[in-house]
Structure 1
Amino acid sequence: MSLCLWLSFLAVPALAGPPADLEHMAGQMLLVGFRGLEISGDDPIARDVALGRVGGVVLFDFDVLLKQPGRNIKNPEQVRRLTAALKTLAPLPLIVAVDQEGGRVQRFKARDGFADTPSAAEMGSWNDPGRVRGAAEALGDMLRGLGVNMDFAPCVDVNVNPKSPAIGALGRSFSSDPERVALNAEAFLRGLADAGVLSCLKHFPGHGSATSDSHLGFTDVSVTWREAELTPYRLLLARDRVDMVMTAHVFNSNLDPDYPASLSRRITTDLLRGELGFTGVIVTDDLQMRAVTGKYDLETTVRLALDAGADILLFGNNLAYDPDLPTKAQAVIVKLVRDGVIPESRVRESYERIMVLKNKLQ
């Protein structure tokens, strides 16, 4: 091995080894959205991925602010080029995520040349976990072929309120029976795993009873939420098959009288990690949803999410858009640590969990 090649090898941190510095750890905690069907060297996201300011990206087919399709997705070949270019830039394996649940929530749509996936409601009606697993494996094969290695699915919200605007009304729940939700969700995540794609349970601690949509504003489930909404998590976490859990922006005064779940230490750390024993990666729902931005600025949001115990902070950069968001969010994390507000050990814990997860990426 030449001296130059050897030195370049040493410069790349071991995937599960000690972090190089605080900035590096902070960058791995960020998963962001961006604009563009292709990547060039002067694109902000290309710079941020190359510099390690982000540990992952999320793809969307529709730009909410511009009110037009084609944000990151045009057709299969274009997506393969895009994901390959991003991964080539990344100093560490890059999480490339998408919301591909099936039914109404599919970023890769049949009209653009992608295979269609049934909704959770339809799959739950089959009463056939083997068939669900097969459908999820087919979905995972498609995702892997596109260069996507993380699916923000399955949704394990219990269909408490069939008219819930963000869940039941969209067919995103497998069932009103929490054990049936768990049975089908396990089949779904097994199917994704068969295809080599990571999965994510959502939306903890339960969004299925909500009467409003947290994308649009404050969502209080204090009266409607049921303890049974934790059952899918209890069952699935006990079987140790969960890569990641996404926390919701729902407010539940029975669990925390002050903060929504995604910003709540009582819910994220005490309940999910403590009582339910989850040791994997916790990701927030999109921190630009109005349930959060309507009340908190960026620094407060990041501080609360870190204090709550979140490992990955998700910024879709779609409900609002700022090309410099990764730089700003990374700087906030670093400042909070250097000012003594957040212990560096808190950031290091998340970094180490993320590195364990990234060892699974294919």
Structure 2
Amino acid sequence: MNDAHLPRRLLLTGIGAAAVAALPGCGAGTSKTPAPQTAGSPQSSTTRPAGPPRPGGEASLRRKIASLLVVGFRGEKLAENDWIMKAVRDGLGGVILFDRDLKTNAPRNISSPGQVTALVKSLRQASPGRLLVSIDQEGGQVTRLNPSNGFPATRSQADIGAANSTSTTRAWAQGIVHSLTSIGVNLNYAPVVDLNLNPSNPAVGKLGRSFSANPSVVIRNATEEVQVHRAAGVKTALKHFPGLGTATGNTDFAVVDVSKTWHSSELEPFQSLIRSGNADSILVAHLLNKQLDPSRPASLSPAVVTDLLRGRLGWKGAVVSDDMQAAAISSKYGRDEAVAMALEAGVDVLVFANQQVYDPKIVDETLDNVVNLVRKGRLTEARIDQSVARVDALRPRR
């Protein structure tokens, strides 16, 4: 497939396969001629003179950093002295809920509607701010709220895309959103806007997570889903930027390289939804795509996050990481270095699922790490402030 087959509106933006490869910074992650910057781009702040935390002190800086973290935890009911409750009281930005624990295969946070509603209420009451309560509720196989814990079954995105009916999509999305709002969730890591270009893809195609291989079908159905969420006060995260549809592996467990299979048409759903105003946040994947960056995975790449997503596609809102404890990056870079690289790349929300490893110290250790990065001048507090502003816009109203 070549650029002649791409929709004309994509070609007009200069994001065909060759154009992407030639974008400033879409190589080694640096550029002699900086890409055009949009409001809120982190690139300028990381080049400012280094220095210690600004007036307000280290405690203020730690609170800012904490507000950027979304963390998973074990427990269907929490005591006041549980580590996650302490983190929430101290300003943790958000939590992520799971039905099962990956390590133990036991129920994790959800066993019944009444139970999880009470759990979420306790967390929100403990928070001094507007806590992000997040979940993966895509429909089909990827649903944390499902019949096993007392919630209705939902059709997959593949089923909905095959129907490609506005009324069907809207009714389906309303069912998903009703389950979310009934327990107090305000951020859903959905919809998946990957193109189903490899039906054997173990992370997307085989699980029925894509609406279609046709960008127009994906855009139409994703737009409906986002609007239904918004009408109920629930924010969404488009995933997995810059496109996971051709993958042959799962980034949760191994490095996935789509360099030889990825096509620039996979950017079209993201570009269209950004331009139409139907994006709340964008989740960037840990995949390796040497067409965009020859060495760094997308989630850690300034070329992908800053130059392409923010600079060329014009995204000004929050960028969400995939699980920062995923083997795809932790095995190569280590957690602390991956966090540093993600923030340098322009990521705003750092998600720690606490599934592949379980670390009750993850919040304190990450705060220590990022404060140290500011002390050493690798990051500036102004860079942290940019992310705080973007994430605040993602938070629910009280």
- Please report the TM-score for the alignment, with normalisation by the length of structure 1: 0.92
Indicate yes or no: 2:137 matched with 1:95. Answer: no
Alignment partner for residue 209 of structure 1, among 246, 251, 256?
246
Establish whether residue 57 from structure 1 lines up as the match of residue 95 from structure 2.
yes
**Is contact 1:99–1:153 with CA below 8 Å preserved after alignment?**
yes
Does 1:302 find its partner at 2:339? yes
Matched, 1:21 2:60: yes
What is the one-letter code of the residue matched to 1:266? Answer: A
For the aligned residue pairs, the C-alpha RMSD in angstroms reads 1.3
Residues 133 and 189 in structure 1, CA contact (< 8 A), matched pair in contact too: no
Matched, 1:79 2:116: yes
Q: Where does residue 9 of structure 1 map in the other structure? A: none
**One-letter code of the match for 1:206?**
G
1:172-211 matched pairs, under 5 angstroms: 172-211=209-248
Amino acid across the alignment from 1:255: L
Structure 2 unaligned regions, length at least 5: 1-55
By how many angstroms is 1:361 displaced?
A: 4.0
The answer as to whether partners of 1:130 and 1:187 remain within 8 angstroms in 2 is no
Once the two structures are superposed, the pairs formed by residues 210-359 of structure 1 within 5 Å of their partners are 210-358=247-395
- SS state at 1:62 partner: coil
Could you tell me which amino acid in structure 2 is paired with residue 67 of structure 1?
N
Distance 2:336 2:391 in 1: 22
* Local SS of the residue matching 1:193: helix
What is the rounded CA distance, in whole Å, between the counterparts of 2:392 and 2:271 in structure 1? 25
Q: Work out the CA distance in 1 between the residues paired with 2:182 and 2:114.
A: 10
Structure 2 Cα separation of the partners of residues 141 and 61 of structure 1: 17
| Aligned twin of 1:115 | 152
Question: Is the CA contact (8 Å cut-off) linking 2:318 and 2:348 kept in structure 1?
Answer: yes
> Residues of 2 paired with 1:244 and 1:274: CA distance?
16
Partner of 1:12: none
Distance in structure 2 (CA, Å) of the matches to 1:252 and 1:71: 34
Are the equivalent residues in 2 in contact too, given 1:135–1:191 (CA < 8 A)? no
Compared CA separation, residues 182 and 207, structure 1 to 2 (3 A): same
Greater relative contact order (Cα < 8 A, sep 6+): 2
Which whole-Å CA distance do the structure 2 matches of 1:361 and 1:100 have between them? 21
**Which whole-Å CA distance do the structure 1 matches of 2:166 and 2:303 have between them?**
34
Provide the rounded CA distance (Å) in 2 between the counterparts of 1:252 and 1:42: 43
What's the CA shift string for 1:303-333, capped at 9, x where partnerless? Answer: 1000000000011001110011011111111
Matched letter for residue 176 of structure 1: A
Is 1:67 aligned with 2:72?
no
Of the three residues 69, 72, 76, the one matched with 1:37 is 76
Q: Which 4+ residue blocks in structure 1 deviate beyond 6 angstroms?
A: none
Q: Is the 8 A contact 1:28 1:351 kept in 2?
A: yes
Query: Once the 2 structures are TM-superposed, how far is the Cα of residue 134 of structure 1 from its aligned partner?
Result: 2.2
Measure how far apart 1:129 and its partner are: 2.1
> What is the letter of the counterpart of residue 29 of structure 1?
L
Select the residue among 160, 163, 166 that pairs with 1:129: 166
Any idea what the Cα deviations from partners look like across 1:163-222, whole Å, max 9, x if unmatched? 000000000000010121111111111111122211110000000100111111110000
Please give the TM-score of this superposition, normalised by the length of structure 2.
0.84
Letter paired with 1:353: R
Contact 2:325/2:335 (<8 A) preserved: no
CA contact (8 A) 1:30 1:330 kept: no
Question: Which residue does 1:161 correspond to in 2?
Answer: 198
Percent identity over the alignment is 41
How big is the shift at 1:100?
Answer: 0.3
Amino acid at match of 2:77: E
Report the 3-state secondary structure (helix = DSSP H, G, I; strand = E; otherwise coil) of the residue aligned with 2:236: coil
Separation in structure 2 between the aligned mates of residue 240 and residue 157 of structure 1, nearest angstrom: 18
SS of 2:226's equivalent in the other structure is helix
Equivalent residue for 1:47?
Answer: 86
CA displacement at 1:89 relative to structure 2: 0.6
